[in-house]
Amino acid sequence: MVYNSQEPGSSGIAAGISQLVSGCPYAHKVTELTSKTTDWGRNTLYYLLFGSAECFREQMRIEPGIDRFFPEKEFPVGHKIKLRVVTDPSKIEKILKIARYSEIMTGGSEFDALAHVIGDKNPLTEITEAEHDKIKQYAMKTRFGANIINQNALKYFTFAKNFVKKEFSLADGNTLFNMTEILPCFTLGISSNIVFESENTFSDSKITSVIGKLEQFISEGMLGHVRHFVPGCLDHEKTKCMQTFDQVVKQIQYPEKQNNGFACTMKRDNFSDEQIASMIKTVLVVGSGTTKSTLISAIYELQKNPEYQEKLYQALVALDIPEFNEEELSDQSAEAYRKQIVDKLFKCEELKHFLLEVMRIHSPIPIQGRKTVTPIIIDDLIIPAGTTIYLTNFLANRDEANWENPSVFDPSRFENAENIKRFSPFSVGKNECMGRFHARITMMCFLYHFLMGYKIPPFDYGIDEVRMGDFFTHAFLRAIQAFLQLRKKMGN
């Protein structure tokens, strides 16, 4: 499905969407919702772009299907930039396969917003195609390729085991754990420790909070929020967050002792300081952010689906991976253990299907942006030059036209190989995530130790449970929390 409008600029998204649906029989309900909204991220356009179709219909109190039909007309709002919202997964994939910076298309508002936070000398936002390919190939060869990740399997497994043991040691069924605060510490810590060999474990929630705000700034830039156009010197909060983040990046980039981490390796291979800093920021903000959001969503779904939680637990038990003390492992036994992790855990079909279903329902990056330089034709879709395109993965993954019973959490749908083949949570082509293997192993190791140690009872979130927050990566409006019941004593 394609929605046509004009892109809201500094005049505000709420005003833009109200004009978009003028003439629609439900316009008064759109206006009513928007008028009650004080947070830009919760307005009607945000429900269109980020919220599920079911959530949007519930808010509008309209029948299924109606929310797709809006008048195809132009209207003067903000910068008067043409906008196309695309939710057809086949069209999304074809658009993503077009080079981001070419005679045809640019990265648009998404990459502009990202560059404000992570720089433009990394495999994500690098403008020059040759430089983009060079740095991405280097990253895959030296740090993020499947073979390199598998070689470090024991490190990932051990980090996750120790983190789970430490963070949830007080679990007694009555202690409430804030998973929204805890899991960013895990994903940032494992990236810092294993990718960069840094001593920064990101145990300070203030630092993880700063990085969370940076995700919000990216989202504001993508959707043209007025704050994005305010000079940094006039935005105290943004300036302070960037300064704090830069200090963290410098600690990783310039360690007291040289190591074999990715930053030091890049330095030895003559990458510039700007490229190294930009790479660190990419891993910490985009890489760790998407992994964190998926794990939080995974906990949420396990709470909602206790029967499936038990099924997944039994599948992990059946792997029969013995407990170990890493300090007592010889080189030979460590290698044997590493192979068990690779051969058993990383190939666990039930865990793979679970994570795919979590990423389908809760798209790690709900929306992506592009901008056409020349007119393009995608199947029956004609997109004029100068059009901003929003690719709404979240809606595509929850549309009944694309998936059977899309609102139902059902990991078994991925027992069908065709469903795996047509689902690309890590994007496609040159946009395919360089950290996909790192993300998978990080999530698998955490979930293994977490579920082997604890049972997660259902939790009542009330009305907020289907709502999302205004972040670049998927986020709920309220914290995901859990009372944990001990399954067994964690191993040493």
In a domain, 479, yes or no: yes
Q: Which helix (DSSP H) or strand (DSSP E) does residue 481 occupy?
A: strand 481-483
In a domain, 289, yes or no: yes
Q: Among 79, 98, 63, which residue's Cα sits nearest to residue 15?
A: 79
Instruction: Lowest mean pLDDT of 180-184, 220-224, 325-329, 454-458, name the range.
Output: 220-224
In a domain, 458, yes or no: yes
Tens-place pLDDT, residues 117-127: 999 999 888 88
In a domain, 401, yes or no: no
CB 419 within 8 Å of CB 395:
no
Q: For residue 324, what are its two tokens?
A: 């170990």
Residue 337 Rama label (left phi>0; alpha psi -120 to 50; beta): alpha
In a domain, 302, yes or no: yes
C-alpha–C-alpha distance, residues 423 and 470, integer Å: 24
C-alpha–C-alpha distance, residues 388 and 81, integer Å: 7
In a domain, 335, yes or no: yes
Alpha helix segments (H runs only) across 254-287: 262-268, 273-281
Q: Please name the residue that has the structure tokens 């940032």.
A: 188
Listed in order, strand segments (DSSP E) in 324-462 are 367-372, 376-378, 381-383, 388-392, 454-455
Tens-place pLDDT, residues 70-80: 323 332 333 34
Q: What integer is the mean pLDDT of 415-434?
A: 90
Percent of the chain with pLDDT over 70: 78
CATH of the domain at 336: 1.10.630.10
Residue 434 has pLDDT above 80, yes or no: yes
C-alpha–C-alpha distance, residues 28 and 470, integer Å: 24
Listed in order, strand segments (DSSP E) in 308-363 are none
Number of neighbouring beta carbons within 10 Å of residue 479: 15
pLDDT of residue 71: 28
Q: Among 368, 76, 113, 78, which residue's Cα sits nearest to residue 215?
A: 113
What is the count of structural domains for the chain?
Answer: 1
Q: Among 271, 273, 282, 295, which residue's Cα sits nearest to residue 444?
A: 295
CB 167 within 8 Å of CB 159:
no
Q: For residue 355, what are its two tokens?
A: 């994570």
Q: For residue 71, what are its two tokens?
A: 């008048």
Q: Please indicate whether residue 106 or residue 355 has the higher confidence score (pLDDT).
A: 355
Tens-place pLDDT, residues 264-316: 999 999 999 999 999 999 999 999 999 999 999 999 999 999 999 999 999 99
Residue 229 structural domain: 127-362+432-486
Mean pLDDT of the chain: 80
CB 458 within 8 Å of CB 306:
yes
In a domain, 199, yes or no: yes
What Cα–Cα distance (Å) separates residue 223 from each residue in 50, 229, 289, 410, 461?
Answer: 11, 11, 19, 32, 28
In a domain, 276, yes or no: yes
Confidence band for 41, pLDDT divided at 50, 70 and 90: very low
Helix pair 306-317, 288-304: axis angle to 10 deg: 110
C-alpha–C-alpha distance, residues 307 and 52, integer Å: 24
Annotate 182-216 with b (16+ C-beta within 10 A) or e (fewer). Answer: bbbbbbbbbbbbbbbbbebebeeeebbebbbbbbb
C-alpha–C-alpha distance, residues 255 and 198, integer Å: 7
Annotate 108-138 with b (16+ C-beta within 10 A) or e (fewer). Answer: bbbbbbbbbbbbbbbbbbbeeeeebeebbeb
Q: What integer is the mean pLDDT of 410-425?
A: 94
Reported pTM: 0.84
Residue 360 has pLDDT above 90, yes or no: yes
Angle at 372 between CA 368 and CA 376, to 5 degrees: 110
